């Protein structure tokens, strides 16, 4: 295990500084006002999955708020996995709703402000922070990274926005599951045949497919990661790889059987596709193909991907959430992993295999984005999140060993830290001012899209220098939420305090938008909101304390 450091790392390499940094990040990333809002579209489907399991203990969607159904019309559209993972937390916090007679128990559409809805937010934050902890523990098995620096690198994934802001999507659960696979593979490498990590990683692989079936490339992730770790040392032969991985893949095969049978029970197929999950062929009809014709579908979509490669520079470096600025570790880490493999001393056959695995793994999510030609209507290129564990591995391998102390490596590390800081701020400020909101227009791929963010990164660079943007961000995040509810709890009208101009006008606009999202029949309870955010912040503080005290295992 190698220990390296930079001036940036030393600046944050104290327990107190790390603790404060984590609390500050979470408070600025959290948008608790969403607890007061009504959601729509994809979010309602995931929420309905969780509610029908946790509140009704069934899969009857007749009383759920979802507005779209699966292909057979029996379930809400979108994968069931996030709802299954959130359900225990929703059920736990729904105890308060049942005790107080909250109408959400009888009418799930009245979820705004309920403890059941808060349970979904809590689960999203819980899984996201647990993923951070697993990645950090895994990093310490390969290289000692200062706690705060590691936290900055890991929060640059882009998933924080979906964990603490738009929490009713499934990306925080996806982030956690990839972290479990990463951790399990690292433990298998460092401890030999480790049955518990192998089983955990296998279960995470299956749940990853349950959360998002398009993540089929997760099946080769353990082999890719273990191959990368092997390249950093001496080649022990194919026997060493097989001895390490066969328990993991055997467990995966065993878990795949009930997964396939459950899918067949729900949808009538062993592995769900888009037409089964979403009752729509719009994604295929734009290319004039029938999804039932598998051969033609593969040929046409492959041709479309190749034709769309002209947009790859925009995807990586463009001002609409270019990967270099929105998820820098995914891009730079993957490049570093490929360079590490090219320069390693592995025999030709395994070296070529590992490079092909990396390229193949990354190609799938890239192809999906190139086919959609959009950011999918929210922050960043969220369909590229599966690339993140590959980037983490590339970073760890590159900055381990002698070359980590070269001037080039030190400067590269500083550049990466700056880019990750920009990514974190990008997530915090997304939609906080009019210039940083999505709008209908021509996106970075040159097509007219209802939620274009073209020019976002350039606009963000300007807004970061605007004090008004900072004040408005604070007003819309945790500090503003606490103040908003505290003054109402004391009987003061927050709208009267907002003022008529400047930041006050912007905040009043935000309050009007919040009211538009609220359900008219709900009774507003500022005391309940304050209690909910206190519970969440207490958990975050506990996590920050445990994270800052994390130390490498002796066996690492």
DSSP string, 240-293: HHHHHHHHHHHHHHHHHHHHHHHHHHHHSSSS--HHHHHS--HHHHTTT--TT-
Q: With a cut of 70, say whether residue 237 has pLDDT above it.
A: no
What lies within 8 Å, CB to CB, of 227 at 6+ separation is: 241, 350, 353, 354, 357
Asked if 165 and 27 count as a contact pair (C-beta separation under 8 A), the reply is no
Q: With a cut of 90, say whether residue 90 has pLDDT above it.
A: yes
User: Residue 416: its pLDDT value, please?
Assistant: 93
Q: With a cut of 70, say whether residue 380 has pLDDT above it.
A: yes
The Cα 306–Cα 453 span in angstroms is 24
**290 pLDDT tier (thresholds 50, 70, 90):** low
Q: With a cut of 60, say whether residue 524 has pLDDT above it.
A: no
302 or 552: which leads in pLDDT = 302
Q: With a cut of 90, say whether residue 35 has pLDDT above it.
A: no
Asked if 28 and 473 count as a contact pair (C-beta separation under 8 A), the reply is yes
147 or 551: which leads in pLDDT = 147
| DSSP H or E segment with residue 410 | helix 407-429
Q: Which of 47-61, 235-249, 486-500 has the lowest mean pLDDT?
A: 486-500
Helix, strand and coil content of the chain, in percent to the nearest 5, comes to 70, 5, 30
pLDDT tens digits, 430-482: 999 989 998 999 988 888 888 899 999 999 999 999 999 999 899 889 998 88
User: Residue 110: its pLDDT value, please?
Assistant: 87
**510 pLDDT tier (thresholds 50, 70, 90):** low
Percent of the chain predicted with pLDDT > 90: 47
The Cα 29–Cα 121 span in angstroms is 13
- Give the number of other Cβ atoms within 10 Å of residue 340's Cβ: 21
> What is the mean pLDDT of the segment spanning 386-405?
84
**4 pLDDT tier (thresholds 50, 70, 90):** very low
- Give the number of other Cβ atoms within 10 Å of residue 343's Cβ: 11
Token pair for 39 = 């959601």
> What is the mean pLDDT of the segment spanning 68-78?
85
Percent of the chain predicted with pLDDT > 70: 84
User: Residue 509: its pLDDT value, please?
Assistant: 57
The Cα 194–Cα 247 span in angstroms is 8
- Give the number of other Cβ atoms within 10 Å of residue 422's Cβ: 18
Q: With a cut of 80, say whether residue 490 has pLDDT above it.
A: no
pTM above threshold 0.85: yes
147 or 182: which leads in pLDDT = 182
Q: With a cut of 90, say whether residue 518 has pLDDT above it.
A: no
Q: What's the sign of the alpha-carbon dihedral 302, 305, 307, 309?
A: negative
Q: Which residues pair with 384 in a beta bridge?
A: none
**403 pLDDT tier (thresholds 50, 70, 90):** low
Q: Which of 45-49, 261-265, 420-424, 494-498 has the lowest mean pLDDT?
A: 494-498
Specify which of 255-259, 289-293, 515-519 reaches the highest per-range mean pLDDT: 255-259
CA distances from 112 to 80, 95, 99, 106 (A): 22, 16, 17, 14
Q: Minimal CA–CA distance to 383: which of 549, 144, 546, 174? A: 174
The Cα 328–Cα 322 span in angstroms is 9
User: Residue 233: its pLDDT value, please?
Assistant: 61
The Cα 91–Cα 81 span in angstroms is 16
Q: Minimal CA–CA distance to 545: which of 147, 154, 127, 138? A: 147
pLDDT tens digits, 299-340: 777 788 888 888 899 999 999 999 999 999 999 999 999 998
């Amino acid at each position: 295990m190698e220990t390296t450091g930079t001036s940036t790392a030393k600046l944050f390499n104290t327990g107190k500084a790390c603790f404060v940094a984590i609390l500050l990040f979470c408070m600025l990333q959290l948008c608790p006002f969403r607890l007061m809002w009504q959601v729509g579209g994809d979010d309602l489907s995931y929420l309905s999955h969780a509610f029908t399991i946790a509140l009704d203990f069934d899969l009857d969607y007749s009383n759920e708020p979802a507005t779209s159904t699966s292909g057979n019309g029996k379930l809400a559209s979108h994968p069931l996995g996030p709802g299954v993972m959130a359900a225990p937390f929703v059920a736990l916090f729904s105890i308060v709703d049942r005790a107080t007679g909250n109408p959400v128990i009888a009418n799930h559409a009245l979820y705004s402000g309920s403890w059941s809805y808060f349970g979904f937010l809590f689960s999203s934050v819980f899984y996201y922070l647990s993923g951070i902890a697993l990645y950090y523990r895994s990093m310490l098995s390969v290289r000692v990274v200062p706690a705060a620096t590691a936290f900055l690198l890991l929060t640059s994934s882009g998933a924080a926005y979906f964990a603490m802001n738009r929490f009713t999507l499934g990306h925080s659960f996806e982030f956690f599951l990839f972290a479990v696979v990463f951790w399990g593979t690292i433990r298998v490498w460092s401890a030999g045949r480790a049955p518990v990590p192998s089983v955990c990683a296998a279960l995470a692989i299956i749940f990853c497919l349950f959360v998002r079936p398009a993540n089929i490339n997760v099946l080769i992730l353990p082999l890719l990661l273990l191959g990368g770790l092997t390249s950093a040392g001496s080649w022990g032969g194919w026997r060493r790889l097989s001895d390490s991985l066969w328990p993991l893949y055997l467990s995966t095969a065993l878990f795949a059987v009930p997964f396939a049978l459950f899918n067949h029970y729900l949808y009538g197929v062993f592995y769900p596709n888009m037409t089964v999950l979403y009752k729509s062929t719009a994604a295929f009809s734009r290319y004039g193909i029938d999804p039932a014709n598998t051969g033609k579908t593969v040929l046409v979509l492959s041709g479309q991907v190749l034709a769309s490669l002209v947009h790859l520079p925009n995807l990586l470096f463009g001002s609409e959430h270019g990967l270099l600025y929105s998820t820098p570790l995914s891009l730079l880490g993957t490049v570093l992993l490929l360079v590490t493999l090219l320069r390693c001393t592995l025999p030709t056959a395994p070296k070529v295999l590992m490079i092909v695995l990396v390229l193949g793994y990354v190609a799938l999510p890239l192809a999906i984005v190139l086919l959609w030609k959009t950011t999918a209507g929210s922050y960043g290129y969220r369909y590229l999140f599966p690339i993140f564990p590959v980037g983490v591995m590339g970073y760890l391998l590159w900055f381990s060993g002698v070359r980590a102390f070269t001037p080039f490596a030190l400067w590269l590390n500083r550049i990466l830290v700056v880019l990750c800081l920009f990514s974190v701020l990008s997530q915090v400020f997304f939609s906080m001012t009019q210039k940083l909101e999505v709008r209908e227009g021509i996106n970075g791929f040159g097509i007219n899209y209802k939620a274009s963010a073209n020019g976002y990164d350039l606009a963000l660079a300007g807004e970061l220098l605007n004090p008004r943007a900072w004040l408005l961000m604070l007003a819309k995040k945790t500090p503003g939420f606490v103040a908003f509810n505290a003054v109402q709890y004391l009987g003061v009208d927050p709208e009267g305090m907002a003022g008529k101009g400047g930041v006050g006008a912007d905040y009043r606009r935000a309050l009007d938008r919040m009211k538009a999202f609220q359900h008219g029949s709900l009774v507003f309870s500022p005391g309940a909101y304050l209690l909910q955010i206190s519970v969440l912040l207490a958990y975050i503080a506990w996590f920050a304390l445990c994270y800052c005290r994390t130390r490498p295992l002796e066996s690492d």
